Chain A
Amino acid sequence: MDRGTTEADLIWVQAAALEDIWEGDLLEVDLDGESVIIVHPEGGKIKAFQGICPHQEKSLADGYLEGNLLVCAGHRWEFDVSSGKGINPMGCELFEYLVRVEGDLLFVGYPRKAGRRNFRFTATLAGE
């Protein structure tokens, strides 16, 4: 569990029915007040990330998914949903939630202790 949490620190929330998130689809859900995007890349695993873009907080659900490439509709920032890392710009990252399938339902887990679940990204200087 790479988010610095153990199972006991997580709150699991039922986020969607599996039939609502087909391969190639993305879906925005509200997770106790935070926007979360669930992605299901073709032939890949279902994942969940912060629902707003690290650039200017536009909803990533308005964007599109092509293979593992997620493109924000606001200003075309690109992310690799297999890792959550930015392709362009590089160096940025989406906060990733844990997901669990139980029967036909998808659950998303988030850390119990408060902390930022929406990463932001701004310019850095070369050599920093």
Chain B
Amino acid sequence: MPKLGRTEWYDLTRDMNWTFSYVNEEDVFPEELSNGFGIPASQWWRWDEPYKISYREYVHNQYDKDNEVYAVNAAIGRSKLFDDLDPGWRAAVVAHYGAIAVPEYLAAIGESRMARFGRAAAWRNMATYGTLDETRHGQIQTFFPHSLLEKEPRFDWAHKALHTNEWGAIAARSLFDDMFVANDAVTTALQLTFTFETGFTNLQFLGMAADAMKVGDVGFGALISSIQTDEARHAQQGEPTLRILVANGKKDEAQQMIDHMFWRSWHVFALLTGLSMDYYTPLEHRSHSFKEFMQEWIVKQFMDQFRDFGMNLPWYWEDYFLKELDWYHHAVHLGVWYWRPTVWWNPDAGVSPDERDWLEEKYPGWNDSVGKWWDVIGDNVRNGDFALTLPETFPMVCNMCQIPIVSPAGFLAGKVASPAPLSVTRKGRRYNFCSEPCRWIFQSNPERFEGHLTIVDRLLAGIIQPPTVEGALAYMGLSPSEMGVDATGYAWATQTNHHSDQVVNL
């Protein structure tokens, strides 16, 4: 039998839209689950995804992809490849699994909401694949670390992290709950698939895959690039949804959704990918700096996309976002390393003399801003005063991104007008924010966010007992053997500069 071309059967098999006669539209698509912004059903039926796939092709492709990555994983398990990996790189991988594996399962909730409450059959079809994709990503990213548990006990956190109240896990949960667990289908399409998956996941999944291959972590590289091929297919849900909103006069609403989630995504990726690329990946294997990746894959791509869709750049683009590219993740890195017992991975300071040269080259002024704090930390390490390099108190935490407030570092770098946190008082409670965009997101929809407590709010509210560093560590699910320590046993503090052979600062 001759095979029909895709265009001859695809729309017929994919589209099953009809006009409701027994029920109201509002009963089928309640606003909390699918905010249609008053756009008529026939307009939503114009939804069309560029890259098309049948269920049969989908299963065939996914079967092949799974075979490939599971074969690589089995081979890695039998080899010594993993044992020889750099400790900093291990930190990047351990952090990745904890922050990403279980949220992939959560993303399946968001995808399945779109698979039921997406407002066109074509969309629901694509979201059904998305649900299966995210289930697969949850499975492989818990299975792979599990099979390496003997070599790296911290991989336990691939499953454990999101079930704890560790502060990074709270930040990830807060972001993902806002983005897709507790979001309606239309907003999810713009915030998860257009804003987050089209741009930011490329950074972690393709950018880190490139670094993984250079480092020699073939298993991780194969895994995350396999995931990204799914990601781009279901990320397609964003573009047609945005087109429909814009074509029906809802550009301002769409702009608000994107500006909101772009900023939140930026902060969590600065924490996860920023530290991994600029401090944890071994110097000799870094292909680009985090800022360069951001400029190439986020700044340029989003600017092109905004232009293609007739959208504006977010209001904070020049004054806040582009400026933070120079300093924000460096400040967060300093904080994560200092509060290292509070994370599930072993942070690599990544500030040996050669690494500092690289940082100064990629981020001119690094030595004169955060570098000064590292000078003091380095002196304390070399003097054996390790207690001085560990925390005795708690930082302030942002009531939006849930990441410690590091604006003093931005002030020192000349990028922020004031070192003081921003605040809002509402119903007698004071909320603190790290930046104008975080405060703006809160004020745009305070009812959505006002009930949430940061890790420090919980301490002050008496939820964490005893209210000490030890009590907080226990609350965060970190036993002494799980708390992060310096990845290289402070080797960076006594290394000499490669180029000059001089001992620096001894």
List residues of A whose CB falls within 8 A of some B CB: 55-58, 73-77, 88-92, 120-128
- Of residues 213 to 241 in B, which have CB atoms within 8 Å of A's CB atoms? 225, 228-229, 231-233, 236, 239-240
On whether the beta carbons of A125 and B308 are closer than 8 Å, the reply is: no
Add 16 more A-B contacts to A74-B206, A90-B7, A127-B46 (CB < 8 A). A56-B198, A56-B232, A58-B206, A74-B228, A75-B232, A75-B233, A76-B233, A88-B51, A90-B6, A122-B308, A123-B236, A125-B46, A125-B47, A125-B240, A125-B247, A126-B45
The verdict on A123 contacting B49 (CB below 8 Å), with A55-B232, A56-B198 known, is yes
On whether the beta carbons of B228 and A125 are closer than 8 Å, the reply is: no
Q: Which residues of B have CB within 8 Å of A75?
A: 51, 228-229, 231-233
On whether the beta carbons of A126 and B47 are closer than 8 Å, the reply is: yes
On whether the beta carbons of B46 and A123 are closer than 8 Å, the reply is: no
B202 within 8 A of partner (CB): yes
Minimum distance in angstroms from A95 CB to a CB of chain B:
15
Q: Which residues of B have CB within 8 Å of A77?
A: 51
List residues of B whose CB falls within 8 A of some A CB: 6-7, 45-53, 61, 198, 202, 206, 225, 228-229, 231-233, 236, 239-240, 243-244, 247, 300-301, 304-305, 308-309
Q: Which residues of B have CB within 8 Å of A89?
A: 50-52
Minimum distance in angstroms from A34 CB to a CB of chain B:
15
CA distance A58 to B205 in the complex (A): 13
B52, B308, B309: the one within 8 Å of A88 (CB): B52
19 A/B residue pairs, CB under 8 Å, sorted by A: A55-B232, A57-B304, A75-B228, A75-B229, A75-B233, A76-B51, A76-B232, A88-B6, A88-B51, A89-B51, A89-B52, A90-B7, A120-B304, A122-B308, A123-B48, A123-B49, A124-B50, A125-B47, A126-B48
By beta carbon, the residue of chain A nearest B300 is: A57
List of 6 A-B pairs having minimum Cβ-Cβ separation, nearest first: A75-B232, A123-B239, A89-B50, A125-B46, A123-B240, A126-B46
A74, A76, A122: the one within 8 Å of B50 (CB): A122
Q: Which residues of A have CB within 8 Å of B300?
A: 57
By beta carbon, the residue of chain B nearest A77 is: B51
Minimum distance in angstroms from B424 CB to a CB of chain A:
37
CA distance A121 to B305 in the complex (A): 10
CA distance A124 to B228 in the complex (A): 23
On whether the beta carbons of A56 and B301 are closer than 8 Å, the reply is: yes
CA distance A72 to B326 in the complex (A): 32
On whether the beta carbons of B229 and A123 are closer than 8 Å, the reply is: no
On whether the beta carbons of A123 and B50 are closer than 8 Å, the reply is: yes
B7, B233, B247, B301: the one within 8 Å of A57 (CB): B301
Looking at A76, A92, A122, A124, the one whose CB has the most chain B CB atoms below 10 A away is A122
CA distance A126 to B15 in the complex (A): 12
On whether the beta carbons of A74 and B52 are closer than 8 Å, the reply is: no
Q: Which residues of A have CB within 8 Å of B45?
A: 126
CA distance A121 to B48 in the complex (A): 13
Q: Which residues of B have CB within 8 Å of A76?
A: 51, 61, 229, 232-233
On whether the beta carbons of A121 and B50 are closer than 8 Å, the reply is: yes
By beta carbon, the residue of chain B nearest A86 is: B50
Minimum distance in angstroms from A121 CB to a CB of chain B:
7
Looking at A55, A121, A126, A127, the one whose CB has the most chain B CB atoms below 10 A away is A126
Q: Which residues of A have CB within 8 Å of B228?
A: 74-75
CA distance A128 to B47 in the complex (A): 11
CA distance A74 to B224 in the complex (A): 12
On whether the beta carbons of A124 and B47 are closer than 8 Å, the reply is: no
Minimum distance in angstroms from A56 CB to a CB of chain B:
6
A122, A126, A127: the one within 8 Å of B239 (CB): A122
CA distance A126 to B51 in the complex (A): 14
The verdict on A125 contacting B198 (CB below 8 Å), with A74-B232, A75-B229 known, is no
CA distance A55 to B300 in the complex (A): 13
Q: Which residues of B have CB within 8 Å of A73?
A: 225
Minimum distance in angstroms from A69 CB to a CB of chain B:
14
By beta carbon, the residue of chain B nearest A125 is: B46
CA distance A91 to B229 in the complex (A): 21
Q: Which residues of B have CB within 8 Å of A125?
A: 46-48, 240, 243-244, 247
CA distance A120 to B247 in the complex (A): 20
By beta carbon, the residue of chain A nearest B240 is: A123
Q: Which residues of B have CB within 8 Å of A57?
A: 300-301, 304
On whether the beta carbons of B305 and A122 are closer than 8 Å, the reply is: yes
CA distance A74 to B209 in the complex (A): 11
Q: Which residues of A have CB within 8 Å of B243?
A: 123-125
Minimum distance in angstroms from A77 CB to a CB of chain B:
6
Q: Which residues of B have CB within 8 Å of A91?
A: 50
The verdict on A124 contacting B48 (CB below 8 Å), with A56-B202, A56-B232, A75-B233 known, is yes
CA distance A91 to B50 in the complex (A): 8
Q: Which residues of A have CB within 8 Å of B51?
A: 55, 75-77, 88-89
Minimum distance in angstroms from A19 CB to a CB of chain B:
28
Minimum distance in angstroms from A74 CB to a CB of chain B:
7
CA distance A113 to B240 in the complex (A): 34
CA distance A74 to B49 in the complex (A): 17
Q: Which residues of A have CB within 8 Å of B233?
A: 75-76
By beta carbon, the residue of chain B nearest A91 is: B50
CA distance A125 to B309 in the complex (A): 12
Q: Which residues of A have CB within 8 Å of B309?
A: 122
CA distance A58 to B231 in the complex (A): 15
CA distance A73 to B50 in the complex (A): 17
Q: Which residues of B have CB within 8 Å of A55?
A: 51, 232
By beta carbon, the residue of chain B nearest A76 is: B229
CA distance A57 to B199 in the complex (A): 12
CA distance A71 to B300 in the complex (A): 23
